[in-house]
Amino acid sequence: MKISGKVLVFVFNLHLVATLIHGANKNENERKGISINTFSPRKHMYSLTNGAHAANGTDTFGNISACDSGTLSEKKVKGKLVYCLGNSGQDYTIDELGGAGTIIGLDEETDVAFPFLIPGTFVSPKDGKKIDQYINSTNSYIRFLCKEGYNSTTIALLTGGKHRYSCSNFKPAQGTDGLNYPSMHIQHKNPNSSISAVFYRTVTHVGHGSKSVFKATVTSPKGLYVKVIPDTLSFHRLYQKKSFKVVLKGSSSLGGTRILSALLEWSNSRHSVKSPILVYRPST
């Protein structure tokens, strides 16, 4: 039976920086959810979080992705839309903690009509994954900004929202940027000091065939040393993840060149994946 209800469209509280990095357009960030809903959202936009990011510590008992009762922090949930996995009555918990609403990611595609205690909606597993990725990307971007020396005041100028991010609430980023983007770049502050940076990246094997071996090839300009560890990635199954690190070193006197660009290429017999590496130096 299919019951039609009000369709709520949550527009994600898109941060300007995330838009710039992902080149996302508005449509890509609109997801439709279905539920019987008698609420009308009071605000046009809400901050979005999920169970993992709003957890009250790491040693809680219960499933944090499912937002189980007792796993969430009131401070991190208050006023936000909380994305949770699987329908298990999370609306009650989130309501108690002052959350603005909930988005429930279903385990499988179904037509669901279910009344929520708070503004709520169901989304398909596919859309749920997009929402999770989006939440992860904004958080890693905040970590990146913290690492770059931004503080809550300057991050607010960039993100434009009323929400204040405090760098102490985010796990410190690993490596030079703390991001998992294909490209790597550093902005070198002092032209007289040498270049030194480390990037950590994780890739997922989504190509054809389950077994595949990719080798790294680096093209770099004179004076910029790039090492990839390990320089071979062997995948044994689809969707397997592998991590590698890229170490950059360079001397200070590089003949006044302001932008140094290198290229890391992972290739197997059929495919190649390119990652540009850029080093910006101010002029002396």
Residues contacting ligand NAG: total by CB under 6 A: 25
* From 166, 190, 196, 217, residue interacting with ligand NAG (rule: CB under 6 A): 190
Quote the CA–CA distance of 65 and 49 in Å, as a whole number: 11
86 makes contact with ligand NAG (CB under 6 A): yes
Token pair recorded at residue 183: 């490209």
164 makes contact with ligand NAG (CB under 6 A): no
56 makes contact with ligand NAG (CB under 6 A): yes
State in angstroms the smallest separation of the CB of 28 from ligand NAG: 15
Cβ-based nearer residue to ligand NAG, 193 or 234: 193
The residue at minimum Cβ distance from ligand NAG is: 86
State in angstroms the smallest separation of the CB of 137 from ligand NAG: 8
State in angstroms the smallest separation of the CB of 139 from ligand NAG: 8
From 16, 63, 56, select the one nearest 158 (Cα to Cα): 16
* From 79, 110, 151, 209, residue interacting with ligand NAG (rule: CB under 6 A): 151
Token pair recorded at residue 122: 């169901």
* From 27, 58, 153, 283, residue interacting with ligand NAG (rule: CB under 6 A): 153
Cβ-based nearer residue to ligand NAG, 257 or 267: 257
Cβ-based nearer residue to ligand NAG, 136 or 183: 136
Cβ-based nearer residue to ligand NAG, 68 or 228: 68
Terminal-residue alpha carbon distance, the chain? 71
Quote the CA–CA distance of 194 and 250 in Å, as a whole number: 6
65 makes contact with ligand NAG (CB under 6 A): yes
Q: Which amino acid is at 177?
A: D
Binding mask 121-140 for ligand NAG (x = CB under 6 A): --------x--xx--x----
Stretch that binds ligand NAG, among 65-73, 118-126, 173-181, 203-211 (CB under 6 A): 65-73
Cβ-based nearer residue to ligand NAG, 134 or 266: 134
State in angstroms the smallest separation of the CB of 237 from ligand NAG: 17
73 makes contact with ligand NAG (CB under 6 A): yes
Binding residues (CB under 6 A) for ligand NAG: these are 52, 56-57, 63, 65-66, 70, 73-74, 85-86, 97, 107, 129, 132-133, 136, 151-154, 190-192, 284
